[in-house]
Amino acid sequence: MRSYLNKNMAKAKVYNLKGKEVEEIKLNDSVFGLPANDDLLHQVYVALSGNKRQVLAHTKTRGERAGSGIKPWRQKGTGRARVGSVRTPVWRKGGVAFGPTSDRNFKKKINKKMNSKAITLALSGKLRDGEMTIIDKFELEEKKTKKMAEALKNLKLKGTILISFAGAEKDIRQFSRNLTAAQNILTSQLNVFDILNRKNLIFSKESVKYLEDKYGKDKGTK
């Protein structure tokens, strides 16, 4: 495990981009040491999934179908069933009565406290499961995608990867964009959906400090 929790305080090992351990740091328990709360995580994850959903399926109602509005034949005396329009759902090429429409709305509102709490729960879960790796700093020998790929290989991570870059590291972010095994995100935009959809989470010490300052109750804890 690259990171772990104990009864007193959350701790994590820090690595360099060559995969070597350089130090061990203490983490803010209010951000990285919370007990599991799967119900809240699930609620926020479902809401975020719904907010991302695009409504594509759409069937035309009788009001949207092309066709004359004239009554096809008189009401009585023809021996045929009465009908008022060629656009009736009963007829071929008519409107659809109960099909999906584009006006469906799957969006759900999440208040700020719930969202912040869920993010800290997701981070605590990643630390507890040993799926969080902390880097001392993102400094490449050469600013190339190849060097970033080599750095990830040195960390020996299995499964999908989410790399979170602090604001000061956004220039390095571009060198991870073309990596098929990794997705990148700014730490300021970190969310439950992206955290839970990737197995491994990579931070720098700068990102950890940002998260502790933003979500930590004890801002002075290091």
For residues 65 and 96, give the distance between their C-alpha atoms in angstroms, rounded to a whole number.
9
Question: What pLDDT is attached to residue 1?
Answer: 42
Q: Looking at residues 112-140, what average pLDDT do you find? A: 95
Question: What pLDDT is attached to residue 85?
Answer: 94
pTM, full prediction: 0.81
Into which CATH architecture does domain 3-53+107-215 fall? 3-Layer(aba) Sandwich (3.40)
- CA distances from residue 170 to 75, 139, 149, 187, 207 in whole angstroms, order as listed: 72, 12, 17, 10, 11
Please state whether beta strands 21-26 and 10-15 pair in parallel, antiparallel, or not at all (unpaired).
Answer: antiparallel
- Nearest CA to 135 out of 20, 214, 5, 27 is that of 20
Question: What pLDDT is attached to residue 218?
Answer: 53
Give residue-wise pLDDT tens across range 2-23: 554 445 578 999 999 999 999 9
Q: Give the confidence band of 170 by pLDDT, cuts at 50, 70, 90.
A: confident
Q: Which residue has the tokens 């990148």?
A: 184
